[in-house]
Homo-oligomer: A and B are copies of this chain.
């Protein structure tokens, strides 16, 4: 199909498609003449992936490029590809190894992960993210022990096991499975965050006695 048809099929405007091509997010079409290139369903699917990561995952173009490079790398196992997506979603957290408070929070994060029996890479940046959150809760005088966070861990693992990992089509083509896995991770994370804020609004309306509108 031509670029205009690719635009129609994907709902992505032509200038945006050209931008993705320039940024290397979208592989070039097959050049059929000096001014014409042919695109296929692979391009439609790739555009869907980019939009999901951008609009729902809120990833930067640089992060999307990393995720796509991992998706495209046939030598990379599924676990590594997924890891790339996870780490792209992880905002950079500064570790403060010289700070006693930070080291305690980080130790608490590591202990929680160990107690849960979860298999997490020792170098995962997510560990620092968890330490940061624990440190913040602790500074605010809120429950910040592994014990206090266990209900969150329980809800998280339950959703992932019951509703996410199991639904990945691992018998089909690698690309489809990888994309489903990556996008599922990103979008389901967003869904949970959105529903949590909605739940908060609803509970708050009841709790603080706001009249029904």
Contact = CB atoms under 8 A, between A and B. Distances in A.
Given A77-B210, A129-B194, A192-B192, A82 B200 contact: yes
Interface in A163-213: 163-165, 167, 179-180, 183-185, 187-208, 210, 212-213
A97 interface: no
A25 to B, nearest CB: 17
The A contact surface, by secondary structure, is helix
A107 interface: no
Given A52-B136, A152-B188, A153-B195, 10 more contacts: A78-B208, A79-B210, A126-B197, A126-B201, A130-B195, A136-B187, A137-B187, A156-B199, A157-B203, A165-B203
Q: In the A-B complex, list the 6 residue pairs whose CB atoms are closest, starting with the nearest.
A: A118-B202, A119-B205, A155-B155, A156-B196, A156-B199, A157-B199
